[in-house]
A and B are shown apart, each in its own frame.
Chain A
Amino acid sequence: MRLPLLALLARGPAHGYELKQDLEQMLGSAYPQPNVGQIYVTLGRLEKQGLIEGEDVEQSSRPNKKVYHLTDTGREALRAWFEEPEDEPRVRDEFFMKLALAPQTGLADQIALINKQRRQYLNTMRDLSKLAAAEDRNNRIAQLLIEGAMLHLQADLDWLERCQEELEELE
Protein backbone atom coordinates (compact mmCIF):
# COMPACT_ATOMS: atom_id res chain seq x y z
CA MET A 1 0.00 0.00 0.00
CA ARG A 2 3.04 2.29 0.14
CA LEU A 3 2.84 3.70 -3.35
CA PRO A 4 -0.94 4.17 -3.45
CA LEU A 5 -0.65 6.24 -0.27
CA LEU A 6 2.12 8.34 -1.82
CA ALA A 7 -0.05 8.80 -4.89
CA LEU A 8 -2.96 10.05 -2.79
CA LEU A 9 -0.63 12.53 -1.07
CA ALA A 10 0.51 13.90 -4.44
CA ARG A 11 -2.75 15.91 -4.53
CA GLY A 12 -1.97 17.65 -1.26
CA PRO A 13 -1.49 17.06 2.46
CA ALA A 14 -3.83 14.69 4.29
CA HIS A 15 -4.07 12.73 7.52
CA GLY A 16 -4.33 8.97 7.88
CA TYR A 17 -8.05 8.68 8.25
CA GLU A 18 -8.69 10.87 5.20
CA LEU A 19 -6.46 8.59 3.15
CA LYS A 20 -8.41 5.55 4.28
CA GLN A 21 -11.66 7.23 3.23
CA ASP A 22 -10.23 8.27 -0.14
CA LEU A 23 -9.17 4.70 -0.88
CA GLU A 24 -12.55 3.33 0.09
CA GLN A 25 -14.43 5.83 -2.00
CA MET A 26 -12.33 5.23 -5.07
CA LEU A 27 -12.17 1.44 -4.94
CA GLY A 28 -15.66 0.87 -3.63
CA SER A 29 -16.88 -2.21 -1.83
CA ALA A 30 -14.72 -4.33 -4.14
CA TYR A 31 -11.63 -3.50 -2.18
CA PRO A 32 -11.35 -5.14 1.22
CA GLN A 33 -11.68 -2.28 3.70
CA PRO A 34 -8.20 -0.96 4.42
CA ASN A 35 -7.34 -1.31 8.05
CA VAL A 36 -6.66 2.13 9.49
CA GLY A 37 -3.94 0.76 11.76
CA GLN A 38 -2.15 -0.64 8.75
CA ILE A 39 -2.35 2.76 7.08
CA TYR A 40 -0.77 4.48 10.09
CA VAL A 41 2.02 1.90 10.22
CA THR A 42 2.72 2.38 6.51
CA LEU A 43 2.71 6.17 6.90
CA GLY A 44 5.22 5.80 9.74
CA ARG A 45 7.53 3.78 7.50
CA LEU A 46 7.21 6.21 4.62
CA GLU A 47 8.14 9.03 6.96
CA LYS A 48 11.17 7.16 8.24
CA GLN A 49 12.28 6.65 4.64
CA GLY A 50 11.97 10.36 4.00
CA LEU A 51 9.27 9.97 1.37
CA ILE A 52 6.71 11.95 3.35
CA GLU A 53 6.79 14.35 6.28
CA GLY A 54 4.25 14.61 9.06
CA GLU A 55 3.20 17.69 10.94
CA ASP A 56 1.21 17.68 14.15
CA VAL A 57 -1.91 19.74 13.96
CA GLU A 58 -3.59 20.70 17.19
CA GLN A 59 -7.27 19.98 17.57
CA SER A 60 -9.36 21.68 20.23
CA SER A 61 -11.24 18.77 21.72
CA ARG A 62 -9.27 15.80 20.40
CA PRO A 63 -5.70 14.57 20.40
CA ASN A 64 -3.39 16.07 17.79
CA LYS A 65 -3.63 14.67 14.32
CA LYS A 66 -0.71 14.24 12.00
CA VAL A 67 -1.01 15.73 8.54
CA TYR A 68 1.39 14.32 5.98
CA HIS A 69 2.77 15.78 2.82
CA LEU A 70 4.91 14.36 0.05
CA THR A 71 8.65 15.20 0.00
CA ASP A 72 10.70 15.65 -3.17
CA THR A 73 12.16 12.17 -2.63
CA GLY A 74 8.62 10.84 -2.33
CA ARG A 75 7.60 12.50 -5.58
CA GLU A 76 10.64 10.91 -7.26
CA ALA A 77 9.68 7.47 -5.91
CA LEU A 78 6.20 8.00 -7.29
CA ARG A 79 7.57 8.95 -10.71
CA ALA A 80 9.71 5.82 -10.73
CA TRP A 81 6.61 3.77 -9.81
CA PHE A 82 4.68 5.08 -12.80
CA GLU A 83 7.74 4.66 -15.02
CA GLU A 84 8.10 0.89 -14.49
CA PRO A 85 5.69 -1.69 -15.90
CA GLU A 86 4.52 -4.29 -13.37
CA ASP A 87 5.35 -7.98 -13.26
CA GLU A 88 3.03 -10.42 -14.96
CA PRO A 89 0.54 -12.28 -12.77
CA ARG A 90 1.74 -15.61 -11.44
CA VAL A 91 0.82 -18.75 -13.32
CA ARG A 92 2.85 -21.38 -11.56
CA ASP A 93 0.90 -21.36 -8.36
CA GLU A 94 0.39 -23.90 -5.62
CA PHE A 95 -2.41 -25.59 -7.52
CA PHE A 96 -0.13 -26.15 -10.48
CA MET A 97 2.38 -27.92 -8.27
CA LYS A 98 -0.37 -30.16 -6.85
CA LEU A 99 -1.47 -31.03 -10.37
CA ALA A 100 2.05 -31.73 -11.53
CA LEU A 101 3.00 -33.87 -8.55
CA ALA A 102 -0.24 -35.74 -7.83
CA PRO A 103 0.39 -38.77 -10.06
CA GLN A 104 3.70 -39.60 -8.42
CA THR A 105 2.22 -39.66 -4.95
CA GLY A 106 -0.79 -41.87 -5.64
CA LEU A 107 -2.61 -39.71 -3.10
CA ALA A 108 -4.75 -37.57 -5.39
CA ASP A 109 -6.41 -37.82 -8.78
CA GLN A 110 -5.64 -35.03 -11.24
CA ILE A 111 -9.17 -34.76 -12.61
CA ALA A 112 -10.59 -34.66 -9.10
CA LEU A 113 -8.13 -31.88 -8.27
CA ILE A 114 -9.23 -29.91 -11.33
CA ASN A 115 -12.91 -30.33 -10.48
CA LYS A 116 -12.35 -29.20 -6.92
CA GLN A 117 -10.38 -26.18 -8.04
CA ARG A 118 -13.03 -25.28 -10.63
CA ARG A 119 -15.74 -25.30 -7.96
CA GLN A 120 -13.66 -22.93 -5.88
CA TYR A 121 -13.14 -20.53 -8.81
CA LEU A 122 -16.79 -20.68 -9.83
CA ASN A 123 -17.93 -19.82 -6.33
CA THR A 124 -15.54 -16.89 -6.24
CA MET A 125 -16.77 -15.84 -9.68
CA ARG A 126 -20.30 -15.87 -8.34
CA ASP A 127 -19.27 -13.73 -5.38
CA LEU A 128 -17.63 -11.28 -7.76
CA SER A 129 -20.78 -11.11 -9.92
CA LYS A 130 -22.80 -10.26 -6.86
CA LEU A 131 -20.27 -7.67 -5.80
CA ALA A 132 -20.38 -6.07 -9.26
CA ALA A 133 -24.17 -5.95 -9.11
CA ALA A 134 -24.11 -4.37 -5.66
CA GLU A 135 -21.41 -1.81 -6.46
CA ASP A 136 -22.35 1.65 -7.70
CA ARG A 137 -22.51 1.35 -11.49
CA ASN A 138 -21.02 4.80 -11.93
CA ASN A 139 -17.91 4.01 -9.93
CA ARG A 140 -15.89 3.02 -12.97
CA ILE A 141 -12.67 2.33 -11.10
CA ALA A 142 -14.39 -0.09 -8.71
CA GLN A 143 -16.25 -1.78 -11.57
CA LEU A 144 -13.03 -2.17 -13.55
CA LEU A 145 -11.29 -3.69 -10.56
CA ILE A 146 -14.02 -6.32 -10.25
CA GLU A 147 -14.10 -6.93 -13.98
CA GLY A 148 -10.34 -7.42 -13.98
CA ALA A 149 -10.64 -10.01 -11.23
CA MET A 150 -13.39 -11.78 -13.18
CA LEU A 151 -11.36 -11.88 -16.37
CA HIS A 152 -8.37 -13.31 -14.50
CA LEU A 153 -10.59 -16.00 -13.03
CA GLN A 154 -12.06 -16.65 -16.46
CA ALA A 155 -8.54 -17.22 -17.77
CA ASP A 156 -7.79 -19.59 -14.88
CA LEU A 157 -10.99 -21.50 -15.62
CA ASP A 158 -10.10 -21.71 -19.31
CA TRP A 159 -6.73 -23.06 -18.35
CA LEU A 160 -8.31 -25.68 -16.04
CA GLU A 161 -10.41 -26.69 -19.03
CA ARG A 162 -7.26 -27.16 -21.10
CA CYS A 163 -5.68 -29.24 -18.35
CA GLN A 164 -8.76 -31.41 -18.19
CA GLU A 165 -8.86 -31.91 -21.96
CA GLU A 166 -5.21 -32.92 -22.07
CA LEU A 167 -5.20 -35.11 -18.99
CA GLU A 168 -8.47 -36.89 -19.73
CA GLU A 169 -7.09 -38.02 -23.06
CA LEU A 170 -4.33 -39.85 -21.25
CA GLU A 171 -6.70 -41.74 -19.00
Chain B
Amino acid sequence: MSDRPTPVLRAEGLVKTHHGEGAPAHAVRGVDLCVRPGEFVAITGPSGAGKSTLLHLLGGLQRPDSGSLWLDGERTDAYSEARWAVERRKRIGIVFQFFNLVSNLSVADNVELPALLAGVSPRQARAEREGLLAELGLAGKERSMPGELSGGEQQRVALARALVNRPPLLLADEPAGSLDSRGTREVMRLLSRFHQRGQTIVLVTHDARLASAADRVISFFDGRIADDAALDGRPSRGTGISGVLELKD
Protein backbone atom coordinates (compact mmCIF):
# COMPACT_ATOMS: atom_id res chain seq x y z
CA MET B 1 0.00 0.00 0.00
CA SER B 2 2.74 2.45 0.97
CA ASP B 3 4.12 2.80 -2.55
CA ARG B 4 0.76 3.80 -3.97
CA PRO B 5 -0.54 7.33 -3.54
CA THR B 6 -3.26 7.83 -0.93
CA PRO B 7 -6.65 7.58 -2.59
CA VAL B 8 -8.45 10.91 -2.96
CA LEU B 9 -11.57 9.06 -1.94
CA ARG B 10 -12.19 5.69 -0.40
CA ALA B 11 -15.48 4.14 0.61
CA GLU B 12 -16.10 0.88 2.42
CA GLY B 13 -19.42 -0.86 2.90
CA LEU B 14 -21.57 2.20 2.19
CA VAL B 15 -25.28 1.55 2.80
CA LYS B 16 -28.14 4.01 2.47
CA THR B 17 -31.85 3.25 2.68
CA HIS B 18 -34.50 5.89 2.05
CA HIS B 19 -37.52 5.67 4.33
CA GLY B 20 -40.32 7.50 2.67
CA GLU B 21 -43.90 6.53 2.11
CA GLY B 22 -44.34 2.88 1.25
CA ALA B 23 -41.58 0.30 1.30
CA PRO B 24 -38.04 1.40 2.22
CA ALA B 25 -35.88 2.04 -0.86
CA HIS B 26 -32.46 0.44 -0.69
CA ALA B 27 -30.59 3.06 -2.69
CA VAL B 28 -27.03 1.99 -1.87
CA ARG B 29 -26.44 -1.56 -0.72
CA GLY B 30 -22.84 -2.05 0.26
CA VAL B 31 -20.44 -0.10 -1.94
CA ASP B 32 -16.66 -0.26 -1.80
CA LEU B 33 -14.87 2.26 -3.93
CA CYS B 34 -11.40 3.69 -4.30
CA VAL B 35 -10.58 6.72 -6.42
CA ARG B 36 -6.93 7.53 -6.97
CA PRO B 37 -5.44 10.95 -7.71
CA GLY B 38 -5.96 11.98 -11.31
CA GLU B 39 -8.59 9.36 -12.05
CA PHE B 40 -11.73 10.22 -14.01
CA VAL B 41 -14.43 7.78 -12.93
CA ALA B 42 -17.92 7.66 -14.40
CA ILE B 43 -20.77 5.95 -12.59
CA THR B 44 -23.58 4.92 -14.93
CA GLY B 45 -26.78 3.01 -14.51
CA PRO B 46 -30.54 3.31 -14.97
CA SER B 47 -32.45 6.02 -13.16
CA GLY B 48 -33.43 4.84 -9.71
CA ALA B 49 -30.34 2.65 -9.41
CA GLY B 50 -29.09 4.82 -6.57
CA LYS B 51 -26.17 6.45 -8.34
CA SER B 52 -27.12 9.99 -7.32
CA THR B 53 -27.54 8.87 -3.73
CA LEU B 54 -24.07 7.36 -3.91
CA LEU B 55 -22.63 10.65 -5.15
CA HIS B 56 -24.42 12.51 -2.37
CA LEU B 57 -22.84 10.14 0.15
CA LEU B 58 -19.42 10.76 -1.38
CA GLY B 59 -19.87 14.53 -1.06
CA GLY B 60 -21.30 14.42 2.45
CA LEU B 61 -24.65 15.76 1.26
CA GLN B 62 -26.24 12.68 2.81
CA ARG B 63 -24.92 10.38 5.53
CA PRO B 64 -24.67 6.62 5.11
CA ASP B 65 -26.62 4.31 7.42
CA SER B 66 -23.43 2.32 7.73
CA GLY B 67 -20.01 2.13 6.15
CA SER B 68 -17.13 4.58 6.12
CA LEU B 69 -15.64 7.20 3.88
CA TRP B 70 -12.09 8.57 3.71
CA LEU B 71 -10.99 11.81 2.05
CA ASP B 72 -7.27 11.87 1.34
CA GLY B 73 -6.86 9.06 3.82
CA GLU B 74 -8.78 10.88 6.53
CA ARG B 75 -11.81 9.14 7.97
CA THR B 76 -14.92 11.32 7.80
CA ASP B 77 -17.31 9.39 10.05
CA ALA B 78 -17.20 11.98 12.81
CA TYR B 79 -17.51 15.03 10.51
CA SER B 80 -20.25 17.46 11.52
CA GLU B 81 -22.50 19.22 8.98
CA ALA B 82 -20.37 22.31 9.38
CA ARG B 83 -17.20 20.36 8.73
CA TRP B 84 -18.68 18.84 5.58
CA ALA B 85 -19.69 22.30 4.39
CA VAL B 86 -16.06 23.37 4.74
CA GLU B 87 -14.84 20.27 2.87
CA ARG B 88 -17.25 21.02 0.04
CA ARG B 89 -15.62 24.40 -0.32
CA LYS B 90 -12.02 23.28 -0.08
CA ARG B 91 -11.55 19.65 -0.96
CA ILE B 92 -14.63 18.79 -2.99
CA GLY B 93 -16.24 20.75 -5.81
CA ILE B 94 -19.72 19.70 -6.93
CA VAL B 95 -21.78 20.41 -10.05
CA PHE B 96 -25.42 19.41 -10.31
CA GLN B 97 -27.89 18.75 -13.11
CA PHE B 98 -29.78 22.00 -12.51
CA PHE B 99 -26.68 24.15 -11.89
CA ASN B 100 -27.98 25.45 -8.49
CA LEU B 101 -26.59 28.95 -9.07
CA VAL B 102 -27.71 31.72 -6.74
CA SER B 103 -30.23 33.44 -9.00
CA ASN B 104 -29.94 36.95 -7.55
CA LEU B 105 -26.15 37.05 -7.69
CA SER B 106 -24.18 37.93 -10.80
CA VAL B 107 -22.03 35.33 -12.56
CA ALA B 108 -18.91 36.87 -11.03
CA ASP B 109 -20.36 36.80 -7.51
CA ASN B 110 -21.56 33.22 -7.89
CA VAL B 111 -18.04 32.12 -8.72
CA GLU B 112 -16.25 34.27 -6.16
CA LEU B 113 -18.54 33.48 -3.25
CA PRO B 114 -17.09 30.07 -2.34
CA ALA B 115 -13.58 31.52 -2.53
CA LEU B 116 -14.47 34.37 -0.19
CA LEU B 117 -16.25 31.97 2.16
CA ALA B 118 -13.07 29.88 2.21
CA GLY B 119 -11.14 32.90 3.43
CA VAL B 120 -9.39 33.84 0.20
CA SER B 121 -8.66 37.54 -0.25
CA PRO B 122 -11.07 39.43 -2.54
CA ARG B 123 -8.23 40.20 -4.90
CA GLN B 124 -7.23 36.55 -5.15
CA ALA B 125 -10.88 35.46 -5.55
CA ARG B 126 -11.28 37.88 -8.41
CA ALA B 127 -8.13 36.66 -10.10
CA GLU B 128 -9.26 33.03 -9.86
CA ARG B 129 -12.70 33.93 -11.16
CA GLU B 130 -11.31 35.86 -14.10
CA GLY B 131 -9.02 33.01 -15.05
CA LEU B 132 -11.72 30.38 -14.87
CA LEU B 133 -14.37 32.36 -16.74
CA ALA B 134 -11.93 33.13 -19.52
CA GLU B 135 -10.96 29.50 -19.70
CA LEU B 136 -14.60 28.43 -19.86
CA GLY B 137 -15.40 30.89 -22.63
CA LEU B 138 -17.47 33.15 -20.40
CA ALA B 139 -15.36 36.31 -20.47
CA GLY B 140 -17.71 39.27 -20.80
CA LYS B 141 -20.54 37.50 -18.93
CA GLU B 142 -19.32 38.49 -15.43
CA ARG B 143 -22.16 40.90 -14.83
CA SER B 144 -24.92 38.74 -16.30
CA MET B 145 -27.44 37.17 -13.99
CA PRO B 146 -27.79 33.36 -14.19
CA GLY B 147 -31.30 33.67 -15.64
CA GLU B 148 -29.93 35.54 -18.64
CA LEU B 149 -27.66 32.67 -19.65
CA SER B 150 -28.33 29.50 -21.64
CA GLY B 151 -28.30 26.17 -19.82
CA GLY B 152 -24.87 25.35 -21.19
CA GLU B 153 -23.49 28.68 -20.02
CA GLN B 154 -25.03 28.27 -16.56
CA GLN B 155 -23.40 24.87 -16.25
CA ARG B 156 -20.06 26.38 -17.16
CA VAL B 157 -20.54 29.00 -14.43
CA ALA B 158 -21.36 26.17 -12.01
CA LEU B 159 -18.17 24.41 -13.09
CA ALA B 160 -16.14 27.57 -12.44
CA ARG B 161 -17.77 27.89 -9.02
CA ALA B 162 -16.97 24.25 -8.21
CA LEU B 163 -13.32 24.67 -9.20
CA VAL B 164 -12.58 28.15 -7.84
CA ASN B 165 -10.92 26.78 -4.70
CA ARG B 166 -8.98 24.20 -6.72
CA PRO B 167 -10.46 21.21 -4.90
CA PRO B 168 -8.60 17.91 -5.34
CA LEU B 169 -11.91 16.19 -6.11
CA LEU B 170 -14.70 17.21 -8.49
CA LEU B 171 -18.07 15.47 -8.17
CA ALA B 172 -20.54 15.88 -11.04
CA ASP B 173 -24.14 14.72 -10.79
CA GLU B 174 -25.72 14.43 -14.27
CA PRO B 175 -24.00 17.65 -15.35
CA ALA B 176 -25.46 17.40 -18.85
CA GLY B 177 -28.82 16.05 -17.74
CA SER B 178 -30.69 19.20 -18.66
CA LEU B 179 -28.59 20.21 -21.66
CA ASP B 180 -29.03 19.59 -25.37
CA SER B 181 -26.62 17.62 -27.50
CA ARG B 182 -24.33 20.60 -28.05
CA GLY B 183 -24.28 21.47 -24.35
CA THR B 184 -23.48 17.83 -23.55
CA ARG B 185 -20.51 17.87 -25.88
CA GLU B 186 -19.32 21.12 -24.34
CA VAL B 187 -19.46 19.70 -20.80
CA MET B 188 -17.68 16.59 -22.02
CA ARG B 189 -14.91 18.61 -23.61
CA LEU B 190 -14.40 20.71 -20.48
CA LEU B 191 -14.37 17.76 -18.09
CA SER B 192 -11.81 16.06 -20.33
CA ARG B 193 -9.68 19.17 -20.38
CA PHE B 194 -9.61 19.54 -16.59
CA HIS B 195 -8.98 15.83 -16.26
CA GLN B 196 -5.98 16.06 -18.58
CA ARG B 197 -4.54 18.66 -16.25
CA GLY B 198 -4.77 16.23 -13.36
CA GLN B 199 -8.20 16.98 -11.89
CA THR B 200 -9.70 13.95 -10.17
CA ILE B 201 -13.34 13.58 -11.22
CA VAL B 202 -16.24 11.36 -10.22
CA LEU B 203 -19.14 11.75 -12.61
CA VAL B 204 -22.62 10.29 -12.31
CA THR B 205 -24.47 10.06 -15.62
CA HIS B 206 -26.89 7.94 -17.58
CA ASP B 207 -25.37 9.28 -20.80
CA ALA B 208 -22.83 6.83 -22.21
CA ARG B 209 -21.35 9.50 -24.44
CA LEU B 210 -20.45 11.54 -21.39
CA ALA B 211 -19.28 8.44 -19.51
CA SER B 212 -16.93 7.54 -22.33
CA ALA B 213 -14.88 10.65 -21.56
CA ALA B 214 -13.83 8.94 -18.32
CA ASP B 215 -11.06 6.39 -18.09
CA ARG B 216 -12.97 4.12 -15.75
CA VAL B 217 -16.67 3.30 -15.88
CA ILE B 218 -18.60 1.80 -12.99
CA SER B 219 -21.96 0.25 -13.82
CA PHE B 220 -24.35 0.72 -10.97
CA PHE B 221 -27.44 -1.45 -10.64
CA ASP B 222 -29.91 -1.70 -7.85
CA GLY B 223 -27.64 -0.08 -5.29
CA ARG B 224 -24.59 -2.14 -6.15
CA ILE B 225 -21.55 -2.03 -8.40
CA ALA B 226 -22.23 -4.51 -11.19
CA ASP B 227 -19.06 -3.83 -13.16
CA ASP B 228 -15.97 -1.68 -12.84
CA ALA B 229 -14.12 -1.35 -16.13
CA ALA B 230 -11.08 0.60 -17.20
CA LEU B 231 -11.48 2.15 -20.63
CA ASP B 232 -7.95 1.63 -21.69
CA GLY B 233 -7.93 3.51 -24.96
CA ARG B 234 -6.87 0.39 -26.82
CA PRO B 235 -8.56 0.11 -30.14
CA SER B 236 -11.58 -2.03 -29.42
CA ARG B 237 -11.66 -5.58 -30.61
CA GLY B 238 -13.66 -6.72 -33.56
CA THR B 239 -14.77 -4.18 -36.10
CA GLY B 240 -15.01 -1.38 -33.50
CA ILE B 241 -15.32 2.07 -34.98
CA SER B 242 -14.97 1.17 -38.61
CA GLY B 243 -17.70 -1.44 -38.21
CA VAL B 244 -20.03 1.08 -36.66
CA LEU B 245 -19.39 3.65 -39.35
CA GLU B 246 -19.16 1.37 -42.33
CA LEU B 247 -21.16 2.08 -45.40
CA LYS B 248 -22.80 -1.10 -46.63
CA ASP B 249 -22.39 -2.89 -49.94
Q: What is A's interface to B at a CB cutoff of 8 Å?
A: 1-4, 30-32, 42, 111, 115, 118-129, 131-133, 145-147, 149-150, 152-154, 157-158, 161-162, 164-165, 168
5 A-B contacts (beta carbon < 8 Å): A122-B212, A123-B234, A123-B236, A154-B208, A168-B221
Chain B residues, CB < 8 A from A157? 208
- Complex Cα distance A127/B212, Å? 9
Q: Which residue of chain A is the closest to B230 with respect to CB atoms? A: A119
- Complex Cα distance A124/B234, Å? 9
Chain A residues, CB < 8 A from B20? none
Task: Establish whether residues B208 and A127, one from each chain, have CB atoms under 8 Å apart when the complex forms.
Answer: no
Task: Apart from A123-B234, A154-B208, list 6 A-B contacts with CB within 8 A.
Answer: A31-B245, A122-B212, A123-B231, A125-B212, A126-B213, A168-B226
Q: Which residue of chain A is the closest to B229 with respect to CB atoms? A: A119
Q: A120-B237, A123-B236, A149-B245 are in contact. Are A168 and B222 (CB under 8 A)?
A: yes
Task: Establish whether residues A128 and B208, one from each chain, have CB atoms under 8 Å apart when the complex forms.
Answer: no
Q: CB-CB contacts of B215-249 with A at 8 A, as 1s and 0s?
A: 00101011000110101111111101110111101
Chain A residues, CB < 8 A from B219? 115, 118, 164
Task: Establish whether residues B226 and A111, one from each chain, have CB atoms under 8 Å apart when the complex forms.
Answer: yes
Task: Establish whether residues B226 and A126, one from each chain, have CB atoms under 8 Å apart when the complex forms.
Answer: no
Chain B residues, CB < 8 A from A127? 235-236, 240-241
Q: What's the tally of chain B residues with a CB closer than 8 Å to chain A?
A: 35
Task: Establish whether residues A125 and B234, one from each chain, have CB atoms under 8 Å apart when the complex forms.
Answer: no
Q: A115-B219, A126-B233, A149-B244 are in contact. Are A120 and B238 (CB under 8 A)?
A: yes
Q: A32-B245, A127-B236, A165-B46 are in contact. Are A122 and B211 (CB under 8 A)?
A: yes
Q: Which residue of chain A is the closest to B243 with respect to CB atoms? A: A124
Chain A residues, CB < 8 A from B209? 125, 129, 150, 154
> Is the C-beta of B189 less than 8 angstroms from some C-beta in chain A?
yes
Chain A residues, CB < 8 A from B45? 161
Task: Establish whether residues A124 and B240, one from each chain, have CB atoms under 8 Å apart when the complex forms.
Answer: yes
Q: Which residue of chain A is the closest to B217 with respect to CB atoms? A: A122
Chain A residues, CB < 8 A from B2? none
Q: Which residue of chain B is the closest to A4 with respect to CB atoms? A: B247
Task: Establish whether residues A164 and B226, one from each chain, have CB atoms under 8 Å apart when the complex forms.
Answer: yes
Q: CB-CB contacts of B173-210 with A at 8 A, as 1s and 0s?
A: 00000000100010011000000000000000001110
Chain B residues, CB < 8 A from A145? 245
Q: Which residue of chain A is the closest to B244 with respect to CB atoms? A: A149
- Complex Cα distance A29/B188, Å? 21
Chain B residues, CB < 8 A from A129? 188, 209, 212-213
- Complex Cα distance A124/B244, Å? 9
Q: Which residue of chain B is the closest to A160 with respect to CB atoms? A: B219
Chain B residues, CB < 8 A from A122? 208, 211-212, 217, 229, 231
Q: Which residue of A124, A145, A152 has the most chain B CB atoms within 10 A of its CB atom?
A: A124
